[in-house]
Structure 1
């Protein structure tokens, strides 16, 4: 077999002319359509118009041009099947040996600000995916190219032997089906959003690879980093790395957790993360004050941690950060002086994420957690606490300062692995108990970490108290106010305990489990 005839029809014409010129020089006849044909003709490359092959004009503004038996018969005919070859001969259909197609820019279209529904629909490619699938199905005999990165290998193989290797055709066919599957999945995602279908009967999602990673959560695990095609805003996948080593699996996972927490705040805030849990969170009058609080919250655990700030890093803050070993610093920006200081540490990763300065906003995105044999799918937890949702349930009401600290702690505990307890005072965390099998265990960890700083502090719990033991531990530590969802059949036991110890307690009616 050899490549004698190619069909080329592309939206992205990057590298096309040199590739087509090499094909023509190798004796390959080129069939083409519309703008692609015009470009090739302008470059002096011989082209056969699609209408000359189909015997039918392109119609409906180009919507129908390649959907014709003369095209798909030439693509799908099994070359060692005598019956197929006889039908081609009787119908005067010529085989097509190479298909070079990329698709209408649907993703780019719907990403444009103000794009209309009609514009989006018009950029759903029909003929392109059909040709790609036909050629890929018949890859035993037909070479199919959907990515300009493959032009060099394909043209080199044709120049060397007149044909491509079967191994190459199989690899390219697999790539085509990945490509068309992702294309269709993106269209489905877009239309699901339009019609408000959150949990469809078939969930089709697609991601685009950003990079291979050195290893996964542990060195013996393979890993790669993917992003959502339409990712927007403050996502790690959108960050620009300014300095430092390549990001690892754990780096990205922890950075994602840091971004989620710091975007809870509109005031200057800094978050320090270790193993996806916050070890220190602080807010202040400026980024320097916020970082100082986040550091002082747990100066031991922040070592080797990941820090995110929702304000640009200035010289003064950079000087403080330089004194501690950190893996990553994420911020909306860095002053040049800050960059000069922090870049002295060659392995420190600096990530610029401009939208990190904006507060968390609810978005139509899903969190997908794989389980054996399937996946669990839910909305992201974007729930914010409104003042009218706070219900005082004890005899003593929290003071204004206590209430402010309770709200601060509640924003943080939402992002701590369950069972979770957070102690806070003076706009900073002073104790974090994460991922424990019982709530009083989490409370004891947070209280031990806070030590004497716990006296006069407040406590936040991600879920209700099933019994009064957490209140008793809090009282012994000097906690003065508690925020929790409420909803236990034994709520009154906790309320009574708070009243005995003079602790103010408020219910939110909202649980924030995080597993």
Structure 2
């Protein structure tokens, strides 16, 4: 796995000032993103640095009043083949790769008229940005940089003598080092690490794209994964574990792209749970009405739809008020003031929504420790993507669980037919079960969860846990009976024995949705018929380990 840090070199300011410094006399600048280019060029010129450049970069520098030597004047060859060939020349790569303390290298430089290049500033063709815009295959290919990565890797390899900058954030630390007499070995090593990570991430983007456009059912023989540092984290799941949060090149809308309005820095567990909550609520289209999910330890403890976001939250909260304390709240509609007033009645770690109005932000401002995130939209639940998990000695990679079903996909297998309202509840419960750790059992009634059993080794244990939670909430709410009576139930995988269905009937359930496919399906269906339950098969499973 590769990971590139686009963050500024925080460590640059702490580099040992006593370390030997190498002056920068000659620099090659060739950048696609010209942000800050004029200022960089002027600053380098003021320090007496000779600047070499190519194409559009040279034009931009001249327009800013910076003296530039064209690379073509150094190599003796003009740019050719629509710019595909311009820096691939010994005068460039020799200047980057030569070991200044190696007599043989120095002799070769003198023999062939090669001058050393002490600094390379290069950011690459915007392949990722072009790809994100949905460009054609030909346009994507033309935006695959060749010379840039080659120069970057050459300079990074020779970081004992050459500084290489690939991120705009590193312009200021670079100029500070030059002003102090030159770059230190530690600084150049840091820059080299970032440079190699950048080229690795760039190649990853290209290879991943090619794997997609190539098609076929076979996984690629080689895979690479890359990310950019979004933030360092205080620790991982536990204080003795180190952690960081990386953003992928083409991040789906969600926690990785969200804006944090207030509250403490997100922790590893906060980010993990917030992602689980937002992915769940995104499975309920905003156009179909407000929905709310409350998550604790990556499992939902309450999910509901409602006429308003506030009602959806209140109904989700009533599923398991105890577990909701210190949880994560996700909404599929913008957060408003009335909903915010309901949420702050108990301690909540994080709230995430597509947006939040001024009234909601004012309410949360009274709770400065509560983290409020707005993502600008919802994750696309149908989007392609991969799920990555490291195991000892390797990685497991699978496509995201984007499976969805509709009424047309259901097969009614019992004598009792579910009503239209029960079918709505069954599909609702099924959607929630997709986001519950296996073995998952979800009781639902009137488009709200009323009991959830998660993460058990036995499915019947999950069935009993969901029922018990409903009984506890009935007692807390002063209800005459738990809401599992008359509820529907979703099971993420088939029932291996009839005892699970019998336990559901004891809880008062009236209809069940499950994948089917067990060797004992006939026995399970017969039990449902005997108990007067309606049962539908989906033909689709939603294990979540």
Tell me if both proteins adopt one fold, taking TM over 0.5 as the criterion: yes
Q: What is aligned with 2:445?
A: 425
What is the aligned counterpart of 1:13 among 5, 10, 34?
34
Query: Which of 74, 77, 82 lines up with 1:53 in the alignment?
Result: 74
Deviations 1:341-364 (A, max 9, x none): 2221111112112322x8x54222
Hey, what's the Cα distance between the residues in 2 that align with 1:290 and 1:72?
Answer: 62
Q: Write the distance in 2 (CA, Å) between the matches of 1:453 and 1:365.
A: 37
Tell me which residue corresponds to 2:18: none
Which of the residues 486, 491, 511 maps onto 1:481? 511
Number of residue equivalences: 510
Q: CA separation in 1, counterparts of 2:247 and 2:216?
A: 22
Secondary structure at the residue paired with 2:318?
helix
CA contact (8 A) 1:9 1:36 kept: yes
| 1:193–1:364 CA contact under 8 A, matched in 2 | no
- 1:287 Cα deviation after fit: 1.7
CA contact (8 A) 1:463 1:512 kept: yes
> Could you say which residue in structure 1 is the equivalent of 2:466?
446
Q: Structure 1-normalised TM-score?
A: 0.94
Q: Contact 2:406–2:427 at 8 Å: present in 1 too? A: no
2:427 is matched with which residue?
Answer: 407
The answer for the alignment partner of 2:487 in structure 1 is 457
Match of 2:198 among 179, 187, 192: 179
Partners in 2 of 1:169 and 1:494 — Cα distance?
Answer: 67
Secondary structure, counterpart of 1:459 in structure 2: strand
Alignment-derived partner of residue 152 in structure 1: 172
SS of 2:95's partner is helix
Structure 2 counterpart of 1:258: 277
Closer, same or farther in 2 for the Cα pair 1:418/1:110, shift >3 Å?
A: same
Report the CA distance between 1:197 and its aligned residue: 5.6
Task: Kindly report which structure 2 residues correspond to 1:273-312, keeping only aligned pairs within 5 A, or say none.
Answer: 273-312=295-334
1:118 has 2:144 as partner:
no
Alignment partner of 1:494 out of 513, 516, 524: 524
C-alpha displacement of 1:212: 1.1
Q: CA deviation at 1:289?
A: 2.0
1:87-486 equivalences in 2 (<5 Å): 87-112=108-133, 114-161=134-181, 163-196=182-215, 199-233=219-253, 235-266=254-285, 267=288, 268-356=290-378, 360-451=380-471, 452-486=482-516
1:140-191 alpha-carbon deviations (Å, 9 max, x no partner): 2222222233333333333433x42222222211111111111111111222
Distance 1:3 1:333 in 2: 48
SS at structure 2 position matched to 1:211: strand
Conserved? CA contact 1:8–1:32, under 8 Å: yes
Q: Distance in 1 between matches of 2:345 and 2:267?
A: 23
- In the superposition, the TM-score normalised over structure 2's length comes to 0.89
SS of alignment partner, residue 453 of structure 1? coil
- Of 430-439 and 390-399, deviating more is 390-399
* Shift in CA distance, 16/512, structure 1 to aligned 2, threshold 3 Å: same
Paired residues of 2:407 and 2:423 also in contact (CA < 8 A): no
CA contact (8 A) 2:164 2:191 kept: yes
Question: Aligned equivalents of 1:25 and 1:337: distance in 2?
Answer: 51
Deviates more, 1:409-418 or 1:215-224: 215-224
Deviates more, 1:151-160 or 1:30-39: 151-160
Q: In 1, Cα distance between the equivalents of 2:177 and 2:262?
A: 40
**Aligned mates of 2:462, 2:522 — CA distance in 1:** 21
Q: What stretches of structure 2 of length at least 5 have no aligned partner?
A: 1-21, 472-481
Which residue of the partner structure matches residue 77 of structure 1? 98
Which structure has the higher relative contact order (CA within 8 Å, separation 6+)?
A: 2
- The answer to whether the 8 Å contact 1:430/1:450 transfers is yes
Instruction: Tell me the C-alpha RMSD between the 2 structures.
Output: 1.8
- Match in the other structure for 1:3: 24
Q: Which runs of 5+ in 1 are unaligned?
A: none
- Give the Cα separation in 1 of the matches to 2:57 and 2:277: 46
Question: Cα 1:355–1:21, aligned 2, differ >3 Å: closer, same or farther?
Answer: closer
How far the C-alpha of 1:2 sits from its partner, in A, is 4.2
